[in-house]
Structure 1
């Protein structure tokens, strides 16, 4: 395996298309020394388009979808029309190279919070990525009373990983949690341009503001009991952060755990 001091060369093992020309996932090999926490992201690289056999010169940040205990790395991406990176990444095939910096990044991790209470995971679009890593790792299920996952998209075909999320209750290593509480996970897929049974066609921030998100979840957004993660497009993050801040949610600082964590690497 060729590498320099900052990155390793990994091999694509599979590519899954969720929405043709728009959403896809890439799975690659994982270096034995690569260690990360659920919720962190990697910087992945490709060589210049006019030098496909050269060293990586283009780099982008992608949250790990895979859990720390899985022997591969998986990334979920949108295709940015006219972009220099994502359209090429979407065209990768098994056997191709994808370069990964040796150090993981980011602080959208459960270490930001004290354990206990309810964990809310709010995402728009591909912001779902980091939460999949958290949900695939058993630790989160023991640390919190209940987990509420909210995924906002435009259309239902953009609800990537929906089947996996809806089948978590049948995962053997989580059986005891769901036996004790069938509502251990509350999953709210919300599309703004299509009607889903029992779900409003609204933006996540509208649902926070008017109280319907709490009604849908059957849980209160109580800053004394809830911990909230936000990941998604910058406009959603800014609006949600303001709304939640007005309700008493704030990031931790100086070693004091908070009840709000936000990731924005757009």
Structure 2
């Protein structure tokens, strides 16, 4: 049964008007990179709560959440207004199976996310496991505008540390950006442009994780299934693992 602990905001980092990272200090607790918790605040009748993935890695004592402000949402506009010293509630324990221990071995690992769905991958890349298990890691971030390409400092650190192992490919759909691809991710898979740009191959040696926009996930799964790359299940291991990030 979930319990709730109090968290204190230490930073509300603004990426742009509708995107921010909320950094929160709580009593220590264990989680696995890729898992999520619920953030809650008191409402007029009951607690208002939503699930958010942990962006920080398990060894980081400060919790990090990437949040898009939904103007008519019940919770995100209130989270948007939080400042250092303010409090909110964090559910325990962390949940979810979108974790690397559920992913079969392979030569390459593709971390494909749109919007805030990139968050769990940052948590994973902050651990040793992906670097030890996969020869090559492809981090693909699909967004609308360049301003949505958050945590570039983390990306640069990993690129510097693992220059032969990490390939980072931004995908920006609503404006031209140097170095970014400019189409929906399923279309880039279909055309082969994603593989051409990254130098990788989406084949039976690849493990592919999808997180973010549900339509992207549906369409990308279809494109990958056309290549005989099917969903990874415990009873039947495959090449594609999905997190239904938006409900």
Tell me the TM-score range normalised by the shorter chain: over 0.9
1:254 to 1:160, Cα distance in 2 relative to 1, 3 A: closer
Please give the alpha-carbon distance, in whole angstroms, between the structure 2 residues aligned to 1:152 and 1:18.
Answer: 16
Indicate which of 18, 23, 34 corresponds to 1:39: 34
Shift of 1:5: 6.6
Q: Which runs of 5+ in 1 are unaligned?
A: none
- Equivalent pairs counted in the alignment come to 246
Matched with 1:140 is 130
Q: TM-score, normalised to structure 1's length?
A: 0.88
1:199 to 1:12, Cα distance in 2 relative to 1, 3 A: closer
CA contact (8 A) 1:150 1:190 kept: yes
Please give the alpha-carbon distance, in whole angstroms, between the structure 1 residues aligned to 2:183 and 2:77.
Answer: 29
Q: TM-score, normalised to structure 2's length?
A: 0.94
Q: In structure 2, the residue corresponding to 1:130 is in which secondary structure?
A: helix
CA contact (8 A) 2:23 2:65 kept: yes
Matched with 2:25 is 29
CA contact (8 A) 2:5 2:26 kept: no
Q: Which runs of 5+ in 2 are unaligned?
A: none
Indicate which of 189, 192, 214 corresponds to 1:208: 189
Matched with 2:211 is 231
Matched with 2:145 is 155
Question: Are residues 1:199 and 2:154 paired?
Answer: no
Q: In structure 1, the residue corresponding to 2:47 is in which secondary structure?
A: strand
Shift of 1:194: 1.5
Matched with 1:113 is 103
Indicate which of 5, 9, 14 corresponds to 1:8: 5
What's the Cα RMSD here?
1.7
Question: Are residues 1:100 and 2:79 paired?
Answer: no
Please give the alpha-carbon distance, in whole angstroms, between the structure 2 residues aligned to 1:142 and 1:153.
Answer: 28
* Cα deviation digits, residues 204-234 of structure 1 (max 9, x gap): 1110111100001101101x21000000111
* Cα deviation digits, residues 6-42 of structure 1 (max 9, x gap): 111111111100012x00000111322x211111111
Shift of 1:112: 1.7
Please give the alpha-carbon distance, in whole angstroms, between the structure 1 residues aligned to 2:145 and 2:2.
Answer: 42
Structure 1 moving runs of 4+ over 4 Å: none
